[in-house]
Each structure stands twice: as structure tokens, then as C-alpha cells.
Structure 1
């Protein structure tokens, strides 16, 4: 308290008598502003809760071996930290989804330095992806891993944004079908072509790669049409290689493999070809948080992801503002009652994704949290 700073200018304040209620009054030595000091225990407890949730700490390390900590912080599990509208236009945005449970995924969008938006859904559907995208100003380019539903959502929400398919995921798509040691010559050649995607740096190299891929398709066309009889049905003899070929062909035809080499985009500097930013700096950190707190329910795991994302935006709110402004489980239930949607328990599947409550909390307006 002896080091109280002025909320207006940040300079040191001095004691200046007391208010009518007996509270200590403080006056700034620089600007003359006067204020009182409030000991916000709720904000302090929330800071302690977040400090335990995100680092690699256990409740046994807390005072009272966690009993006091749990008593003071259990109410904070009811808070849903929500993203705000992002008006700034970014050069590139990365998107991906991290699965919390079999039917529960958090869709995340981020820039190079910060998390931009997130959304809880049952699956990576187009309607689910539209929610986080609608809250972000359309960027120049978006890098995606090709998850289902995203392309349709991006076409509706960001029609002018160019899409870059992560080249590493495109390579992995082929590797899953051919393995790293394919036995057939066609598989060996296709695997080698897919591996080259990770090292293409110029438009000339990209054009040469597409030409050789087309030559491969033409040369092995008859081979991949061969069929055999299995259980009385006629099937393709080399189905896995055909699936790998189909995936690459779709990407080539859509023109999303080498978007990062476009002259209009590289004028201000090189563009990313892979989703490494969100995979390494965000998803890996989130998996570490969930791994450190094994045993949490699906609902609490989702909220842990929400808290991590919320604290990694460009300007997170103070803990006091967070307590005052963010929706809680009670707000969700109130909205559910107003809209006539019923649920037997908090963890019911209808809580996630396209339900009325979550559409309300993820609404694209600037004021999505009103409950009256």
C-alpha cells in the first residue's frame, strides 16, 4: 500500500487524509488525482487460480495442501473467458482446432504474436468455423490444415482472403497412405514428390513440381485403374495410392498449395507455407496444460483452453474487469431458459457448438454478452 501508483498517470501517490467512511485517501504527487485503495480479494484469488492453472504447478504446492486454494477458487470454474472483436487487419492468420474430447473441439485463430479468437464446438463444421472468423477482420492470407468445414466458412466470411494449405499437412496426408517406406514404385515416387513440398521456395520450383506431378499422374494412370475381386466385390488394387493422389490433385486444382509464393503477397516479405505458428506455439502449449492437469472433466479442460487463449491475446483485461464482464455458467443457463432450450446436465452434448446458447455467446456483434 505504501507504493500505491496513480491510476491516471502511474506516478507515486501520498496519503491525503480519510474519507467520510474512514477509508484512506491518496493523492498523486504529479497530477493531483485523488483516489482510495480497494483490496479486491476476488481479483487476487482469480489471479492465483490462473497462476495455478497454466503453469506446471500442483495443488499440493498451495497453502493448506490445496484445500484453502480449492475453497477460494472453485467459483472461477464457472467463468467463460470470451474473445473480443478484432478490427486490425492482419497480413496472415493461422487457424486450427484442438480436440478436448471425442465430440468437443476448440477452434482457434491466431496471428504471429497473439491469439485472436476461439470457439467451442462439437465438430469442425462450417457453421462452427464461421463464429471465430466472423469476429476477425479479413486478413490477406489464412493458413489452414485442411480441416473439414473451414473452406466453406472462409468463403462466406472472408471471400477476398487467399487460403494457403499447410504444406506439411499436405505431405502428411500422402505419408499416411504410402507410409515412409512404400513398396510399390508408384508409391515411392509419389512420396518423394510430396516430400519436396516442404522445400519449395520459388514460383519456378512450384511450376516444375506441378509439371512433374502431372507427369506422374499420367504415367501411372493405367496402373492405378487396376482392380481385383475382394469378398465378391470389385475394388481398386491400389486404393491407398489413389486416395493420396486424389488429395494432392484437389489441392493442385484449387490452387492453395503455393499461395505463399504469390507476387502480390510476398511484396512485403515472405509468407508462411506451414501452420507451425499455431501447432508449435499454441497447440503444443495447450496440450502441456491439459497434460499437467490430467483428470479434469471435459468442461473444465475446455475452460482451461479458453483461459490460456484469453491470457495470450494482445491486451487481456485485468482480473477485476474479467470478473465483471465475462459470462458465467449462470448466464448460460439464464439464456437457455429464455430461449426455451433444456439440458439435463452441464456436460450434455447439446451444450456445445450450434446450440442457441453458444450462438449467443459467440455472436458476431460487439456486445455479445448481454443477458437482459
Structure 2
């Protein structure tokens, strides 16, 4: 029969004197005895039980299994599993150490249910450095994300104004690389996938070549092609339409550019190059010491953001509070040295039975607060809630 290893010395709950080991029970549990008051006990280690529950919670909330599958694997019911891990939702993961310097960082936001946006900052190893909840990708939100993060050699982002403004405020003069995949997407929005004009078709071909550039000489050749495009189609860009020619679309204007979308797509490329954010990744001034740098945010979007999306897809139907905690644990477990158990304190499980449901708001998954569940039961995630049907009726 296997026997549990002896934990650290215990004190008698009656007299407070040290207790000594006194063999094992038939079930294999350690027996303790107090020589002062002759008390014998096999008191369980509550912390061991709670940590086992927390490990099961982390495995489920960051994995692919449904709650029913996780409960079945442990040999308990779904309701029992939900009750045992109810206290685990109160454990909040902390931020990793952001003091290390990075050659480059990537910043991007991913939108999740309930109107929230999760901003994530990753380092040159592709692992999360910080994350921040916000309702929109604004400058204050990104300032909070960049707070206490050391100045990187390069910031790769999608070019949002909030991100750029926060980066300039936090790291004045930092080099920025605009994600070339986003540049291509914006160009396709303006030109569509099948432009009708020859100028539009040629410019779209140039934009598609952006993501294939990997060196400075290739970037120089691409800019030469862009200049040649303008030399050939510059007159086409300057065409105007007057109100007399098209009174239906005048809307109070005397004239307007005939090919507005084409002009916007072209001058966006010109502006990005003038701002030195189009081909920063291959600038010899910042690549000479460490080799090539990324030109897109694919590492972040296809890594952390994609995993967050997949995790939420595996756990559809979470309440707003639990959805946010699920995302936080999904991101934290991707850090360099995750140690989720380090955030658990006795206060988390001791307050589990007194946890309020709803906090004055309607119970998640219901339209009103008239049907409140029993203490410790989540009405939304345990399958309880308002039901409709013909049960109990007769024709």
C-alpha cells in the first residue's frame, strides 16, 4: 500500500504543543499524536487539496476540454467540478518581469466578447511582456501597457494613432515599423481585390510585393518601382470631376478628385516611407548588431492573440468576469517562466463559500435577477438558468 510522504511538523490544535508522527492509517494517511494531551489526529492538508483543485482549474481553463470532459476525466460530475473550482476564479495572474530589454517589441489589440479589447505586448522572444484591458485602442490604454517597460530598439505595430502617440510619449524618438500586412490590407480595402483601372491593378501588384521584402536592396528596388508607377500614372491621379459633370454626387462641392481611393492608397505608401516606418526593419543602422528584424505583427497575431481566441472558442458562454480571467490565464501561461500556483493564497479558498453571485447585477445568462442560484453555483456556466418548455403542462 502506498503511503503519503510526511509533511512538515504540526502543532496540536488543542494545546499548541508539537505533534509527532504516529504511523499511518489503513488508508495510508499520516497519523499524528500529541504527547501532552494525547490527541491523535489525521488532519488533512487543506492547502494540498486546494492546490490540486487549482491545477485542475488551470488545465481546464487554458486547455481544449469542456467542463464536462474535465469533470469526467476526474471521475466527478460537471456540477461538482464547477463547485470545486469556483474559488479559483478569484486568483488573478500577475505580470511577468518587464525589466529585461528587448531588440524589438510588438503591440496589438484583440477584441473579445462583451466589448473588451485585450492589448498585448510581446518581446523579441515572442512571449508576452505585458497586457492591458481597455474598451478601445486609445493613447491612455497604450500608455498603461508601455508603463515600466524599458525602451526597445524597435516597435512593430499596426500603426494605430493611439499606439503611435503613446510610444512617442513613453519612448521619445523610438523607431517604429508599420506592419506590412496591415499596409497591404488597407491598400486592398481602397483598391478592392480586382481593380478595374490599369493604375489600380499595377499599384495592387506593388502592394502585394511588400510582404516579400527582406533586405534593404529589395526595399530600394520596390521604391524605384513605386516612383516609376507615379511617373506613368501621375496624370491619372490628378483627374478631377466637377459638379457640372456629376451633379448627383456633388453634395455642395465644386469639384473633387475622380480617383479618391487610388490617391489614398498611393499617398499612404508615400507617407509611410517619408515617416521612415515602411522599411525600418531593414535599416542597417538598427540591424547591424543583431540581424534581421520582423516587418509584420504575425508573430503576435498568430501566436498570443490566436491562442486567446481559440481558448475563448473552447469555453464559449463564460460570464464577462470569467471571460476576462480566462484570457489573462491564457496569456500568462505563454510567458517565459509561468508559475500560476505562486499567486494562490489561503485567502482565496477561505472566502470561497462567501462569494457573492452577481454583485447586485443580473445573474450572467439571465435577463433579470429574479432567479438567483445557490451560493457557490454559477448559473451560467453550470447549466442552470431560466428555462422554457411544456414540462408540467397538459393539452
TM range (shorter): 0.7 to 0.9
- Relative to structure 1, the CA distance from residue 345 to residue 169 in structure 2 (aligned partners, 3 Å threshold; closer, same or farther) is same
Q: Distance in 2 between matches of 1:345 and 1:247?
A: 47
Residue 158 (structure 1) aligned to one of 148, 171, 180:
171
Q: Hey, what does 1:67 align to over in structure 2?
A: 79
Residue 96 (structure 1) aligned to one of 71, 87, 108:
108
Deviations 1:58-98 (A, max 9, x none): 11121433111111112333343231441110112111111
Residue 144 (structure 1) aligned to one of 147, 151, 157:
157
Q: Hey, what does 1:109 align to over in structure 2?
A: 121
- Relative to structure 1, the CA distance from residue 129 to residue 18 in structure 2 (aligned partners, 3 Å threshold; closer, same or farther) is closer
TM-score, length-scaled by structure 1: 0.75
Within 5 Å, give how 1:293-308 maps onto structure 2: 293-308=315-330
Indicate the SS of the match to 1:269: coil
Deviations 1:220-255 (A, max 9, x none): 333233344344424433222222223222211111
Q: Hey, what does 1:239 align to over in structure 2?
A: 260
Q: Distance in 1 between matches of 2:348 and 2:106?
A: 26
Q: Distance in 1 between matches of 2:100 and 2:119?
A: 20
- Relative to structure 1, the CA distance from residue 237 to residue 345 in structure 2 (aligned partners, 3 Å threshold; closer, same or farther) is farther
Q: Hey, what does 1:199 align to over in structure 2?
A: 212
Q: Distance in 2 between matches of 1:17 and 1:219?
A: 82
Q: Distance in 2 between matches of 1:16 and 1:40?
A: 10
Contact conserved, 1:144 with 1:165, CA < 8 A, in 2? yes
Contact conserved, 1:200 with 1:206, CA < 8 A, in 2? yes
Contact conserved, 1:54 with 1:289, CA < 8 A, in 2? yes
Q: Hey, what does 1:265 align to over in structure 2?
A: 286
Q: Distance in 1 between matches of 2:173 and 2:131?
A: 22
- Relative to structure 1, the CA distance from residue 238 to residue 47 in structure 2 (aligned partners, 3 Å threshold; closer, same or farther) is same
Q: Distance in 1 between matches of 2:347 and 2:102?
A: 26
Question: How far apart are residue 344 of structure 1 and its match?
Answer: 7.5
Larger helix proportion of the pair: 1
Question: How far apart are residue 151 of structure 1 and its match?
Answer: 0.5
Within 5 Å, give how 1:1-372 maps onto structure 2: 18-21=9-12, 22=19, 39-61=47-69, 62-63=71-72, 64-101=76-113, 103-111=115-123, 112-228=125-241, 229=246, 230-233=248-251, 234=253, 235-267=256-288, 268-319=290-341, 321-324=342-345, 345=361
Contact conserved, 2:87 with 2:348, CA < 8 A, in 1? no
Structure 2 spans left out of the alignment, 5+ residues: 13-18, 23-43, 352-358, 364-395
Q: Distance in 2 between matches of 1:69 and 1:203?
A: 57
Question: How far apart are residue 318 of structure 1 and its match?
Answer: 4.0
Question: How far apart are residue 17 of structure 1 and its match?
Answer: 9.3
| Higher relative contact order, chain-length normalized (CA < 8 Å, sep 6+) | 1
Contact conserved, 1:145 with 1:166, CA < 8 A, in 2? yes
Q: Distance in 2 between matches of 1:17 and 1:65?
A: 33
Contact conserved, 2:47 with 2:346, CA < 8 A, in 1? no
Question: How far apart are residue 179 of structure 1 and its match?
Answer: 2.1
Structure 1 spans left out of the alignment, 5+ residues: 5-14, 26-35, 331-342, 348-372
Q: Distance in 1 between matches of 2:117 and 2:285?
A: 34
Indicate the SS of the match to 1:149: helix
Q: Distance in 2 between matches of 1:215 and 1:76?
A: 62
- Tell me how many residue pairs correspond in the alignment: 313
Q: Distance in 2 between matches of 1:274 and 1:66?
A: 43
Q: Distance in 2 between matches of 1:54 and 1:17?
A: 32
Question: How far apart are residue 45 of structure 1 and its match?
Answer: 1.5
| RMSD, aligned α-carbons | 3.1
Q: Distance in 1 between matches of 2:61 and 2:270?
A: 44
